[in-house]
Structure 1
Amino acid sequence: MPIATSSPAAPFQPPSTQGKPEIPEWDIPPATQADVEFAELHTIDLSLMDSEDPKVVDDLVQMVKKAIKEDGFLYVKNYGISVEQLHRQFAIAQYNHRNISEEDQERLLWHPETGVYSGYKRPYGWKREKQALDGIKHFNFYKPEFDDINRIPNCIHPFFDEITAFCNYMSKSVNRRLLTLLSRVLELDDDFIWRTAQSKEGPTGEGYFRHALFQPLASETKELSKGLRMHGHCDFGMLTLLFSVPVSSLQLWGNDEKWRYVKYEPGALVVNLGETLEILSGGHFKATRHRVFEPPEDQRTFERLSLVIFQSSIGDLMMQPAMESPLIQREGFVNYQGCFKEYKRFRDAGMPVPTNRQWREGQIKDGREVTDVVNNQVGKDRVEINGKLFSKREFFGMTVLLPV
């Protein structure tokens, strides 16, 4: 049976730019020419969901099923946004980082200790207080930012309708279609995950949109971090929607326990699965282990601009497997995953598990610095397993082990 669609998905129709200030186009860095090993990822054509041929749709579902079991990452093409429309969003993000005033940086400074990344991140660590230089700047848009234009930098006020429309389309069209595919993998009705788990209020629900800028790695930062820009981690939400960029810094942890760069595919959407979906699927969906590392030698003088939409589940959701799934009923759980395995251990022992909001806010509050040479060593925040380094952290009594 094909995926139920009343009509083909409509393409993105952005607001007009007429009458707005002119801004520079995105300065697109060149792709690396270095001889590096890239991760081999599956690419899906999202427009195939509109096919009237049931076999075409089923083949798409089977490809998604294979990809999420193998690595939890997908390239997605033909999702409804053109390269030109996407580059406009990069131009706005570039303009934001180049023109945000010092007054707005202070006025909108984030406060991660509250459990959200809302607002402006200085290039000095993952706390409100200034830490060692890490060279990473953000502006994070949550629902309060979308509801109140005074919570965003003044320089991008004229373009905020474009940002809002973009996030609405990505969340309510692209994300929803992807969740439909994942519902089909679980052999449930098309809207199951969207209806029961996905937060929906506002352009990003309880998730957020990020303008991220990675400045070239300073020598003093590299000495502290050994080239690491962001720790190996899994995202804690549903789906993370990011857009392929030329500067190769994103790395994927493969089944052979090696880090590999993710290759630049112009215009492609890069999707990774979060821990909420891993738990909901009983371990059949693989939460993506990834990190950000310094790029190949020929790209180390370039800035890396990144756009990311973090989709979240309903905050009060008690994260548990979808036992209605015929796939889970037939094949049981997949217990090799760290996050799901810990959740299952707690549930089997009759112990309470955190809600989605508690899980995500706990991780945000406990953000760790790549420049922290005191704790980034074995015996502190790291352990060595079979000759490989892993970070070890505890949330609500559950141990999280992730490759460094």
Structure 2
Amino acid sequence: MATAAVLSPTPAVTPEGQSNKALPAWKVPATTKEPLDWVLLETIDLNDLNSSDPAVRESLISRSKHALSVDGFLYVVGTGVTQETIERQLAITQHIIKGIADEEKAGYTAKLSEGSYRGHKPKGIWSRQGVVDNIEHYNFESPSFDGNIDQHPPSLRPYLPEIQAFADYTYNHIVRKILEIISFVLELPPNALWKLHSQEGVIGDSCQRYMGYHPRSQEDEEKTKNIWSKGHTDYNTISLLFSQPIAALQILTPNNEWKWVQHRDGAVIVNVADALDFLTGGVLKATRHRVIRPPTDQSDITRLILIHFARARGDLMLNPLYESPIVKRNGVHAFQNRLDAGERAPTQAEWLAERIKRTGHEKYIEVKKPGDGKVQEHVLGRKVDYYV
């Protein structure tokens, strides 16, 4: 594993043995001065996992259980990733989103219609209220690091070693430790959840994303009610967002209120996603979240972010883990209706592909409460809620 490359801000070395050329630095945006309605989230320190004090470990597990079963979100610190590394990775994000011409990226578009995010997702391919989306991202999966650099734009290739090292460390160190904590929450052996994730390739079946939200016109904001990404859940097990200063992320609280997620230097914002919700029978909550227009003092800045989507093995069927005493006692079978009809729960790969295919093309079937923006669609026997 390339741990040292991740923890050091020094540019990586290319396969040809030449240092990467310098990139324009990512200029750290100032935090907003607007008085936003911030959500209160728990913070856990990964270093507590190795504490020799039983009380520290018990507190870690207890607080994690409460946060992930009630809010579905928490802050994680003690990751071992320096601020310099995060800023370097965001400089690479800036290069991908703003420094590589659209014409060059056009030949490396992700096959969304086939259920895959790998590669480039250009902005402007989805539409809402007559307004095209402002979302752009480039996604890396294990095949992205198979040595075939021709699958990436030429202007991106010099930075692949750094990207690979960062993705490797995030998956094999940060994700693994978080899954160990969640295994303890479920009263399972420490490696129980990690064993459900692939250890093949750099990041298994998971995904490392470099993403940008481009500013929009006031006219477009009014048409879409300032919503950049509608209220949704993620499709994987856990999602990791490396915190950055531009406020835009909101979560739907248990009280059905949208609240802002505040920036924390050096923290990773972690949320439960669909697959973990299914595996725990709903004991751990996949919380609805959305992205909206940043406050006025940040609204003209391109919001650049790093996200890691940890996914279970593609062939894993998303049935509840009844070997967990917590799930057996408190879980509700997410796919009982399908099983009653003689069908089965989907695998992680099936669920992921179907959700990706539908993204931007959802077929809503019902408005639950007029005025609250909540709609639903059926996906592989499961009712999926959105807020539009």
Scaled by the length of structure 1, the TM-score of the pair is 0.87
| Aligned mate of 1:332, from 330, 338, 341 | 330
| Native 8 Å contact 1:115 1:364 kept in 2 | yes
Q: 1:222 to 1:386 in 2, by over 3 A?
A: closer
SS in structure 2 opposite 1:139? strand
C-alpha displacement of 1:22 = 1.1
Q: What is the rounded CA distance, in whole Å, between the counterparts of 2:222 and 2:288 in structure 1?
A: 24
C-alpha displacement of 1:191 = 0.4
Q: What is the rounded CA distance, in whole Å, between the counterparts of 2:260 and 2:190 in structure 1?
A: 33
1:122-175 CA distance string (max 9 Å, x none) = 210349xxx953222111112222222222222222221111011101001110
Partner of 2:52: 52
1:68-91 CA distance string (max 9 Å, x none) = 111110101111101111111111
Partner of 1:354: 346
Alignment of 1:253-292 (within 5 A): 253-292=252-291
Q: 1:31 to 1:13 in 2, by over 3 A?
A: closer
- Is 1:388 the equivalent of 2:353? no
The amino acid that maps onto 2:247 is S
| Native 8 Å contact 1:15 1:165 kept in 2 | no
Q: Which runs of 5+ in 1 are unaligned?
A: 1-8
C-alpha displacement of 1:357 = 1.0
Number of residue pairs aligned between Structure 1 and Structure 2: 377
SS in structure 1 opposite 2:287? coil
C-alpha displacement of 1:203 = 2.5
Partner of 1:5: none
SS in structure 1 opposite 2:373? strand
Q: Which runs of 5+ in 2 are unaligned?
A: 14-18
The amino acid that maps onto 1:118 is R
| Native 8 Å contact 1:67 1:74 kept in 2 | yes
1:202-246 CA distance string (max 9 Å, x none) = 232212111111111223432432211111111111111111111
Q: What is the rounded CA distance, in whole Å, between the counterparts of 1:27 and 1:172 in structure 2?
A: 29
Partner of 1:104: 104
Partner of 1:4: none
Q: 1:81 to 1:230 in 2, by over 3 A?
A: same
The amino acid that maps onto 1:353 is A
Partner of 2:16: none
- Is 1:69 the equivalent of 2:69? yes
Q: What is the rounded CA distance, in whole Å, between the counterparts of 2:76 and 2:5 in structure 1?
A: 15
The amino acid that maps onto 1:51 is S
Taking only the aligned residue pairs, the percentage that are identical comes to: 34
Q: What is the rounded CA distance, in whole Å, between the counterparts of 1:145 and 1:62 in structure 2?
A: 38
1:19-58 CA distance string (max 9 Å, x none) = 3211121112111111110111000011111211122111
| Native 8 Å contact 2:5 2:162 kept in 1 | no
Partner of 1:403: 387
Q: What is the rounded CA distance, in whole Å, between the counterparts of 2:257 and 2:9 in structure 1?
A: 43
The amino acid that maps onto 1:227 is N
| Native 8 Å contact 1:382 1:389 kept in 2 | no
Scaled by the length of structure 2, the TM-score of the pair is 0.91
Q: What is the rounded CA distance, in whole Å, between the counterparts of 1:51 and 1:67 in structure 2?
A: 20
Q: CA RMSD in A?
A: 2.2
Alignment of 1:115-194 (within 5 A): 115-126=115-126, 132-147=131-146, 148-194=148-194
| Native 8 Å contact 1:134 1:221 kept in 2 | no
C-alpha displacement of 1:328 = 2.6
C-alpha displacement of 1:275 = 1.1
